[in-house]
Chains A and B, each alone.
Chain A
Amino acid sequence: MVPDVQELYRQMARMRRFEEKLAELWNRGLISGEMHLGVGEEAVAAGVLAHLEEDDAMALDHRSTPPLVGRGVNMESLLLEMMGHPDGLCGGRGGHMHLFSKERLAASSGIVGSSAPLACGFALAARQLRPGKVAVAFFGEGAANQGMLLESFNLAVAWNLPVVFVCKDNRWAITTRSRSVTGGCLLRRARSFGLRAFRVDGTRVERVWATAGKAVGRARAGRGPGFILASCPRMEGHFLGDPMLRVFREPVRQTLEIGPPLARALLSRPLAALPARALHMGIIGKALATLGVEKYVLERDPLRRAAALLSEETRRRIEDEASREVEEAARAALAAVEGR
């Protein structure tokens, strides 16, 4: 089997264009609250979704728009939902962290780790009501320290559920470097529960596609649950307006805001503690430096990598189509919102 790279890239471009539109609307103040984009996770979403069939289920986290777009949920109804319109996907009552599509058996949640047990339940129902169908859970590596998620790993194995756990490892849990609060290795952790575990470069869609094919295929055949650890970048920070990214994007303003209180803390009495405090200050500096290097030096955009597999002409055609689709949906949604 070889992947249909054109189709994979088409889905990735749709996801990316859609989220760029979300960012634009959010910046204009038309979307309220937090906005966690899945920008950088498109290869993982597209590579996994390519193996899903009708009646397969998805349990999603707070970055749920790429999988929903990839699964064919109507873009206009998603946009209307984010703008709090009564004709939105959930009547304007759920918003971006709480998107539900009963038709597609897709549910998202803002509670970290909760997608894993939900997917186990979806898989349990599939086994009884829709044999041959599977459930997929998406979550980040930050969720891998949540008790309910680890309990779900065991549950899936103990009950031999047709479920695939997809861990999008972007190395950061909000402002915390995950490695600094995580023991051991997540792949071995998953294996120790008896899951068939795979590691993949989540910026390479063709590799995700191949890996997910194995995991989903096994689950569908009733040969047991799987775990995919896919590394990917967090290109827009934890959420739009991420204060750590703002340090790089508007350094002067942020330094003026954060600097003086930190200096006061450094120099507060007793002054004898100054050397130790300078070391503590280093912890903050190191976290920022690590984030900066990852973002501005090491970051690899999965879309650019996938585009490199296509001819220039094909790439452009796919991107134009995606842009057109998103623009049309946005125009209709904005007309509905403004006409209200």
Chain B
Amino acid sequence: MDVLGILIPVSLFLGLVGLGIFFWMLKRGQFDDPEGDAHRILREDYDDHPKS
């Protein structure tokens, strides 16, 4: 049972990291156009010279 003392904090920490990343993505507007982003990866416009 002692292992719980390590596992629970570790799992909580990892969960919090995931939550933090999600907030960051939300703020960066990565969920603003899910449908468009799904299509965008299919086009070849910037394959050779990326936009930025």
Task: Decide whether A and B are members of one complex.
Answer: no
Seen from chain A, the residues whose Cβ lies within 8 Å of a Cβ on chain B are: none
Seen from chain B, the residues whose Cβ lies within 8 Å of a Cβ on chain A are: none
